[in-house]
Each structure stands twice: as C-alpha cells, then as structure tokens.
Amino acid sequence: MEAQSSSGLLLPRKRRRDGSNGETEEGERLGKVPRCTVGLKHPAPFADELEPADGKPYERVSMEEAKRGTPSNRPVRVYADGIFDVFHSGHARALMQAKCLFPNTHLIVGVCSDDLTHKYKGFTVMNEDERYDAIRHCRYVDEVVRNAPWTLSPEFLARHRIDFVAHDDIPYISAGSDDVYKHIKEAGMFAPTQRTEGISTSDIITRIVRDYDVYVRRNLQRGYTAKELNVSFINEKKYHLQERVDKVKRKVRDVEEKSKEFVQKVEEKSIDLIQKWEEKSREFIGNFLQMFGPEGALKHMLKEGKGRMLQAISPRQSPNSSPTREERSPSPTFRLPFFTKTSPPPSPPSHHSGARGYLISDDDDDEEDEN
C-alpha cells in the first residue's frame, strides 16, 4: 500500500530555528530509493463533491486496530485541519506524518475559510480558494473539506466518518479555549504529529517584512507599478535612486575586484621575473667565475700560452750527433736583382769567423770597380 511504502522512507529531520534560509542540520538523511513513478495525476477531490457513503452505520476504529492494519476497503480515516496560508514544506511534512500514521490511511484535510481565519487568527496572504487549491495538489491528501469548522463537533466527526484527528500536541489556544483539541484528546481520537522547526507562515512573513525595501525594489524592477505595491510617489523615487546607487556600488566593487586580480597577476609575474633574473644572475656569475676566477679557464689558457712563448723564444741545444761547420753543405750564392750576369759557381767557404751568407765572385768585384 502507499502508506506502507511511504512509512518505510520516513526519517526524522529537523531544521535550524534561527536559520532564515531553511538549511537542514547534519543528521539522518533519506536513503536512496528505487526509481519509480509514484506521483498522482489528479488533485484530491473536495468532500462535498464526492458521492455519499453507503448506508452502513459509522463505527470508529480503535488505535490498536488501526496500527495493526485494516482491510483495504476500510481505511483509517484521519482528519487534519489548518489554515495552510503560504503553503510550505512544514505543512507538507505535517500532512505526510498524518498520512503515514497507519498502514492503511485515508487522509482528510480541512481548510478554514477566510471569515473564520480573519476572525480568530488574523489576515492571510492567500485567499481561501488559493489555499484550497494548494492543499488539493499535495500528494498526501485524499480529500479536502472546504470551510472547515474552527472547533470540531461530534456531528462533524460523524458526518465525515473520522476515526482520528492529527495535529501537533502543543495546546492550541484559540476561540476562548485553552486547547481546541482538548475534547478530541479526551475521547482518545487524537494522533500527535511533530512540527517542523524553523519554518512557518509567520516566519516567512517576518522575513518579508524585515526585508520590505528589498522586495519592493525587486518587484519594481520586475514591472510592478508603485500603485500595485501601495508605494507612494516619493518612496518610488527613493527606491529607484537606491537601485541606481547600488548599481554604481556593484560596478565599483567589480572594478575593485578586477583591479585586485590585475595587481595579483602583476605581482605573480614580477615574482616570476625576479626568480628568473636571480637564476640568470647566478648562472652568469657562475660562468664568469668559471672563466675569470682564480682557477678559471682563462688562467690555464694564459699559463699554456706563456709556456709556449717561452719554449719558442729559448734556443734549443744542438744534439751531439749534429754535423760540424765544415761538414755542412755550402750555402747557395746570393744573386742581387740588379746583376744580369750569371755568377760563377760559388767558391768554398772561407774559414775566418763571421763569413756567413752568400759570397760575391771576384769578377763581380772587378765590374764594380770599373763602374
């Protein structure tokens, strides 16, 4: 059955009281369920539109019988009433608990009219037709009672064949009574449910009133007129001016954020450049020391060059087996470029000291004298 399948997934989950955004606390969560289509295709019918029940007399079901389970043709008829203004998740969870009280439950929901609500509780945001329609489209509701009474009478309970009444067990003080459900509790027909903390119609209205200017400006931007919002001409101009000021502030904030991002990028790039410069400087200094340092390559090159120069300048000692001057081959005669006459064969070299180089023949001497 639907109630049995739904009850298997029901886990307690509370909300923060002080949280305005309705975030849930860390706790037990709903587990994963198989993929299936369980939604209804039609809204719940109104009670006054249903066919009349059979002629069998109304007999209530006891709590033990209801918990044990009833036949499919005799579900436990549970009644839950309320204002349900600005229908929210707290309302839906309360109706879900009422639906899951017993294995086979037929949930009847009564919605009070505008007249009763304005008389005993106060003005509503939604009118009665809107509240009726909201309850009809809740998946847990099987039947909707329009213009429900503020206090439940025995005649009303018998007419709708109600077995139990579901509501939170906090005493509901209204209509000159300390608890409008006191006689229901005494009759053993009361089935308590739990409130969802942190969400209620009053809380939602408080948020709107607290941020009234924000929501007025929001609706003015969406095309609502000042007359529709009941805003005076001066306040309308004030809200438009505030909106322009906020736009300027947002632009300035965006420019500041972009400038911060730009400065941050410049700092990152400058840090990278400094790091690269330091690396290049270390590399340059290392190469300089490797070349010009005390034990650098230049010093070794100078030492090698100096050794080669000294070796080239200093005379080499003649080996012991070198030939004597007499044994050496005669030097070739030197021929001056201005003589055309061929020189005679060279004479043997003289033995006086300092006779080196090429020798000029006697005939050449005589020709010089004649000239």
What is the 3-state secondary structure of 235-262? HHHHHHHHHHHHHHHHHHHHHHHHHHHH
The answer to whether the beta carbons of residues 100 and 3 sit under 8 Å apart is yes
pLDDT of residue 80: 97
pLDDT of residue 205: 93
Q: How far apart are CA 175 and CA 193, in angstroms?
A: 22
pLDDT of residue 346: 55
- Bridge-based pairing state of the strands 164-168 and 143-146: unpaired
pLDDT of residue 5: 42
pLDDT of residue 246: 87
The answer to whether the beta carbons of residues 168 and 195 sit under 8 Å apart is yes
Contacts of 197 (CB under 8 A, 6+ apart): 14, 15, 16, 17
**Burial tier of 14 (Cβ tally within 10 Å: 0-12, 13-18, 19+):** middle
**pLDDT block averages, 10 residues each, the chain of length 371:** 42 44 48 68 90 79 92 93 96 96 96 95 94 96 96 94 94 85 94 92 93 89 89 88 88 89 87 86 81 74 77 68 56 50 52 43 49 41
What domains are there in the chain, each with its CATH number? Answer: 63-199 (3.40.50.620), 202-304 (no CATH)
Q: 3-state class of 192 per DSSP?
A: strand
Q: 3-state class of 79 per DSSP?
A: strand
Is the whole model's pTM more than 0.85, yes or no?
Answer: no
Q: How far apart are CA 213 and CA 236, in angstroms?
A: 10
Contacts of 192 (CB under 8 A, 6+ apart): 166, 167, 168, 169
Contacts of 45 (CB under 8 A, 6+ apart): 136, 143, 144
pLDDT of residue 85: 96
Whole-number CA gyration radius for the chain: 58
pLDDT of residue 13: 44
pLDDT of residue 299: 73
pLDDT of residue 30: 55
Q: Report the 10 Å Cβ neighbour count for 119.
A: 12
pLDDT of residue 195: 92
The b-or-e profile of 141-176 (16+ CB within 10 A means b, else e) is bbbbbbebebebeeeebeebbbbbbbbeeeeeeeee
pLDDT of residue 317: 62
* Phi, psi dihedrals of residue 145, rounded to the nearest 5°: -105, 115
Give me the residue label for tokens 């270390």: 282
Q: What is the distance between the terminal CA atoms of the chain, rounded to a whole angstrom?
A: 155
Q: How far apart are CA 288 and CA 6, in angstroms?
A: 83
Q: How far apart are CA 115 and CA 307, in angstroms?
A: 123
pLDDT of residue 290: 75
pLDDT of residue 332: 53
